[in-house]
Chains A and B, each alone.
Chain A
Amino acid sequence: MGSQYGLKFAVHLVTNHFGKIVAKVCETLFRKGPLSLGEIIRCTELTPEQVKNSLLVLVQHNCVQAYVPADQFRDEEESTVTVEYLALFDNVIHRLRFPKFLEIAKRQLDDECEKVLDGLLRDGRLTLKQMVERAVQGKENPGAIEAVVRGSFHKLLKAHYVERCPAPEPVVSTLIKAEPAPRKRGSKMAKKFEAPETIEQRVMEAALPGEAIRFAVIEYTGGNADREANSDDTIMVNVGDNSGGIANEGSILWRANFEEFIRHLRHKLLIENERKRLDDGAATILSAILDATKNVEKKVKIEKSVPLSLDSIFTEVTKNEYGRTMTIDRVRASLVQLGCPQRNLDDSYSIDLKNIVEMARNEEVESIVLKRFGGDAYRIFRLLSKSNCFLETDKIAELAIVDKKEAPRLLYKLWKDNYLHMEKLVVTAAKQSRFMLWKVNKPVLWEYVLDEMYHAALNLSLRLAFEQEKDEDLLHVSRDKLTPTDKSGEVNSVQKRYLRLRDVLFLMGSSLMKLDDALMLFHDF
């Protein structure tokens, strides 16, 4: 679930897209967690019809997932099944980045795929039949258009940018399992700490279609069906006759697979960051590794790349024009620079992707510190960030070459704004001495910065709306009067306002998209 301003920003997005009533239902679910229909009606004080319609809209657009808590089945006398509704914070925020998803489809596939995806994003979920109907409406050559739509759909499916919609009301156990008793202390076999699964994760896991059918066009019926796999894992199932297939086209719902788009954007960030830090060669190698293994990544936020042998890496690299100029020694040297100094036990190589993401996060936070607090504070912050341990005030001043009288003031400012963690140490020897110790607590800081970013995104959106409202009258002015046509270059006051508004909207829109990259860096990557 999101942070304080994360939730506010999510509610703002829902309000903009679906109106205040739907937003009220969504906000209630965010604040109170999963609720049944009756509970939502009581909390929102809306009519049952308003709540039902709102839930239908939210489910249609993948912002809410319904499920049945398994605990209610413990009581055998219970005859009614209560469905609960869970608001999906991530999916709501993804609505901000639909233009990015469309751009990916356009660049990686083609314009027609972009159009099909656009329909899915606008309508939330569609059957293949609905996609075709949408495209042919009012057009002259429906047959040809239908073929294009089908072809584009299959391309999107093959790339995993489209997936089958989840189960409508899966049964999910909401009990938190007790942790097994720990083994003896210090044991090398001690289990690595993993945060318990959230209810959102459990529900989504239960709702997700199995891998066999998630990207399959036709329902897998087993038994007499002949199964043949395409070159990748898009499965086409022949069921003898096509009647089942055509019927399914009108019943199987499809939606955009946000996970794959986020994976694509994560890979793009990793590659571009290494290109800036190292060189084109390193970026080419990382790109080759990630391309080759993206279909076997178990989740988006993998810490290390899927292991590959040097030969496999080299084969992938040489598929690229630039990669063909590289020798195997060059590839090996770049792997070291990328953060993979030695092979795994099975002779494979794995890049530390988590480290690249951390470096990007550090850079983003450091740029805030530099702009907000100045160069001396920037050096102090970077020193503490790199040290990853407590340092005493005078030691910090000495290592960062900051005036010893200035250092305490800067440290206090950073601490007051939650960028540093501070502890006091009292040492009693010949006389009592007090020391202030400082540290950057990255997990806590990153959550705080993320919340500030959601706050900033909300502010940008509100200000954008305000600027548009201010010049709302320009919407009613005909376009030819808005654009300067006078050869002397002089503009009248209406045209000035229009040009200003155009520049303002462009600046704020592009700033919001850039800020969204940072939101993904801290939340999704």
Chain B
Amino acid sequence: MNRLQGSSSSKRKRELALVSDTLTDGERILYNLILSKRDMGIWSGDMKRETNLPDHMVKKSLKLLQSKGMIKEVVNIQNKARKHYMAAQFEPSKEITGGDWYSEGSLDKDLINVLKNVCVKYISRQKVVTRDGVLDWSRKSGVITAEVSNQQIEEILRALVLDDEIIEVKSTGYGEFENVPVGRVCYKCKSKSGVRGEPKDGAMSSIPCGVCPRINFCTPDGIVSPRTCVYYQKWLDF
């Protein structure tokens, strides 16, 4: 999706046209190439290849275009180490940024965790809550800012289901679902305390072998064996 920063006012267009008139041929070629890539932008290496301009000219021109505010450098999530450029009037697309959850090319884990904690606490207080109920609360309570969209809240709920922190159920209209229309999607907290990250207790995961990275090499009489195993040693070291 292409979004234009600021207004696409004729004033801005005139300014750009004036600045563009002062560019050298090389600079103009580079600028037009970058402009043509719209919200996807282009890597400096690809620019050199497509324009056949010498390396020093490309570097100098890019610096100049940046100083004039005609282009900007953006972080490409696919390859953060590469210098990726875009015309100033475009917002980077999701393929470049990674999406709503990305900031400076990295996943904003702090924001995600804060939103998850807040949602889990709310759902655990409510016992059972519909999807719309969570969205309404997130808008009205002011706990979650307007910058976080409804879609992002839904994505957080989906991630919490995948984390097994909450479960998605359909209302039966009975018992705890008394006030919810039959068939409506609801969420319930899995942990009783509403605290995230409670350990899950499987049979295999409770013993060293269950989580051992070397189990495929382990044999009864081999170099890696239950008798010599350091993980067992640690486990039995009371």
Beta-carbon contact of A459 and B218 below 8 Å? yes
Whole-angstrom CA separation of A19 from B210 in the bound complex: 29
CB neighbours (8 Å) of A3 from chain B are none
Chain A 326-368 near chain B by CB (<8 Å), digits 1 or 0: 0001100100110000000000000000000000000110111
Contact B210 A368 (CB under 8 A): yes
A-B contact pairs, 13 of them (CB 8 A): A333-B172, A333-B175, A336-B172, A378-B162, A404-B78, A452-B215, A458-B220, A459-B226, A460-B207, A463-B226, A500-B238, A504-B238, A511-B203
Given the complex, which residues of A lie within 8 Å of B201, measured CB to CB?
367
Set B98, B106, B156, B207: member contacting A515, Cβ < 8 A: B207
State the 7 A-B residue pairs at the shortest beta-carbon distance, nearest first. A367-B202, A456-B209, A518-B203, A459-B226, A333-B174, A371-B205, A379-B162
Contact partner of B77 (CB less than 8 A), chosen from A329, A404, A508, is A404
Complex Cα distance, B218 from A398, in Å, reads 37
Residues of B within 8 A of A518 (CB): 202-204
CB distance A366 to B227 under 8 Å? no
- Contact among A329, A382, A507, A514 with B203 in the assembled complex (CB-CB below 8 Å): A514
Q: Would you give the shortest CB distance from B203 to chain A, in whole angstroms?
A: 4
What does the 1/0 interface line of B202-238 toward A look like (CB < 8 Å)?
A: 1111110111010100101000011101001000101
**Interchain CA distance A515-B208 in the complex, whole Å:** 12
Contact A463 B229 (CB under 8 A): yes
Contacts A379-B163, A460-B207 given; 14 further ones with Cβ under 8 A? A367-B204, A368-B202, A371-B205, A378-B164, A398-B99, A400-B159, A401-B155, A404-B77, A452-B215, A455-B209, A455-B218, A460-B209, A463-B232, A511-B203
Q: Which residues of B contact A48 (CB under 8 A)?
A: none
Complex alpha-carbon distance, A277 and B226, angstroms:
36
Q: Is A453 an interface residue (CB 8 A)?
A: yes
- Of the candidates A375, A453, A462, the one whose C-beta lies within 8 Å of that of B220 is A462
* A514 / chain B contacts, CB cutoff of 8 Å: 203, 206
B112 within 8 A of A: yes
* B contact residues around A462 at 8 Å (CB): 220, 225-227
| Interchain nearest-CB distance for B54 vs A (Å) | 27
User: Considering residues A366, A463, A514, which has the most beta carbons from chain B within 10 angstroms of its beta carbon?
Assistant: A463
Which chain B residues lie closer than 8 Å to A401 at the CB level?
101, 107, 112, 155-156, 159
Q: How far is the CA of A467 from the CA of B238 in the complex (A)?
A: 14
B200 within 8 A of A: yes
Q: Count A-side interface residues using an 8 Å CB cutoff.
A: 49
Question: What is the chain A residue whose CB lies nearest that of B232?
Answer: A463
Residues on the A chain within 8 Å of B204, using CB: 364, 367-368, 449, 452-453, 456, 515, 518
* A514 vs B220: C-alpha distance when bound (angstroms): 21
Tell yes or no: B158 within 8 A of A by CB: yes
Distance between Cα atoms of A507 and B236 in the complex (Å)? 9
Say yes or no for A319: interface residue by CB 8 A criterion.
no
Q: Chain A at the B interface: mostly helix, strand, loop or mixed?
A: helix
Which residue in chain A gives the minimum CB-CB distance to B155?
Answer: A401
- What is the 8 Å Cβ interface bit string for chain B, positions 151-163, against chain A (1 contact, 0 not)? 0000110110011
A403 contacts the other chain (CB 8 A): yes
What is the number of contacts between chain A and chain B, taking CB atoms within 8 Å?
122
Q: How far is the CA of A351 from the CA of B80 in the complex (A)?
A: 53
CA distance A375 to B232 in the complex (A): 24
- Answer yes or no: A399 CB below 8 A from chain B CBs: yes
Complex interface residues of chain B between 136 and 173 (CB less than 8 A to chain A):
155-156, 158-159, 162-164, 172-173
Instruction: List residues of chain A with CB within 8 A of the CB of B99.
Output: 398
Interface residues of A in 370-384 (CB under 8 A from B): 370-372, 375, 378-379, 382-383
A249 interface residue (CB < 8 Å to B): no
Chain B residues near A507 (CB, 8 Å)? 236
Q: Is residue A435 contacting chain B, with contact meaning CB distance below 8 A?
A: no
Residues of A contacting B203 in the complex (Cβ-Cβ under 8 angstroms): 364, 453, 511, 514-515, 517-518
- Set of chain B residues within 8 Å of A370, measured between Cβ atoms: 200, 205
SS class, residues of chain B in contact with chain A = loop
A399 touching B238, Cβ below 8 Å = no
Task: For the complex, give the distance between the alpha carbons of A329 and B178 in Å.
Answer: 13
Report the count of interface residues on B (CB-CB < 8 A).
42
Q: A453: nearest residue on chain B (CB-CB)?
A: B204
Residues of chain A within 8 A (CB-CB) of B238 are: 500, 503-504
A411-459 residues at the B interface, CB under 8 angstroms: 449, 452-453, 455-456, 458-459
Which residue of the partner chain B has the closest CB to A413?
A: B213
Tell me the residues in window 180-204 of chain B with beta carbons closer than 8 Å to chain A beta carbons.
200-204
Which B residues lie within 8 Å of A18 (CB)?
Answer: none
In the complex, the answer to whether A400 meets B226 with C-beta atoms within 8 Å is no
Name A's B-contacting residues (CB within 8 A). Answer: 8, 329-330, 333, 336-337, 363-364, 366-368, 370-372, 375, 378-379, 382-383, 398-405, 449, 452-453, 455-456, 458-460, 462-463, 466-467, 500, 503-504, 507-508, 511, 514-515, 517-518
| Residue contact B202 to A363, C-beta cutoff 8 Å | yes
What is the bound-complex CA distance between A130 and B66, given in angstroms?
A: 98
Q: What residues on A are CB-neighbors of B229 within 8 Å? A: 459, 463
Question: Which residues of chain A are near B215, meaning CB under 8 Å?
Answer: 452, 455-456
Q: Complex Cα distance A366/B163, Å?
A: 10
Q: Are B162 and A400 in contact (CB under 8 A)?
A: yes
Q: Measured between C-beta atoms, what is the minimum distance from B112 to chain A in Å?
A: 6
Task: Give every chain B residue within 8 A of A517 (Cβ-Cβ).
Answer: 203
Chain A residues with CB under 8 Å of B207's CB are: 456, 460, 511, 515
Q: In the complex the two chains form, what is the Cα distance from A455 to B214 in whole Å?
A: 12
A371 touches B226 (CB 8 A): no
Given A463-B232, A467-B236, A375 and B202 contact (CB-CB distance below 8 Å): no
B174 contacts across to A, CB distance below 8 A: 329-330, 333
Partner of A372, one of B163, B211, B218, B220: B211
A459 touches B209 (CB 8 A): yes
In whole angstroms, how far apart are the Cα atoms of A461 and B42 in the complex?
60
Bound form: Cα–Cα A297–B172 in Å: 30
What 1/0 flags go to B64-84 for Cβ under 8 Å of A? Answer: 000000000000011010000
CA of A364 to CA of B203 in the docked complex: distance in angstroms? Answer: 7
Please give, as numbers and ranges, the residues of chain B lying within 8 Å of A379 by CB-CB distance.
Answer: 159, 162-163
Q: Is the CB of B226 within 8 A of A460?
A: yes
Bound CA span A400–B155, Å: 8
- How far, in angstroms, from A488 to B200 measured CA to CA in the complex? 39
The reply to whether B205 and A368 form a contact with Cβ atoms under 8 Å apart is: yes
Write the chain B residue with the least CB distance to A364.
B202
Q: Which residues of A contact B200 (CB under 8 A)?
A: 363, 366-367, 370
With both beta carbons as reference points, the residue of chain A lying nearest to B94 in the complex is identified as A398
Residue of A nearest to B209 (CB): A456
Q: Which B94-127 residues sit within 8 Å CB-CB of chain A? A: 98-99, 101, 106-107, 112
Once the chains bind, are A371 and B211 in contact (CB under 8 Å)? yes
Closest B residue, CB atoms, query A336: B172
CB distance from A512 to the nearest CB of B (A): 9
Within 8 Å CB of B218, what residues of A?
A: 455, 459
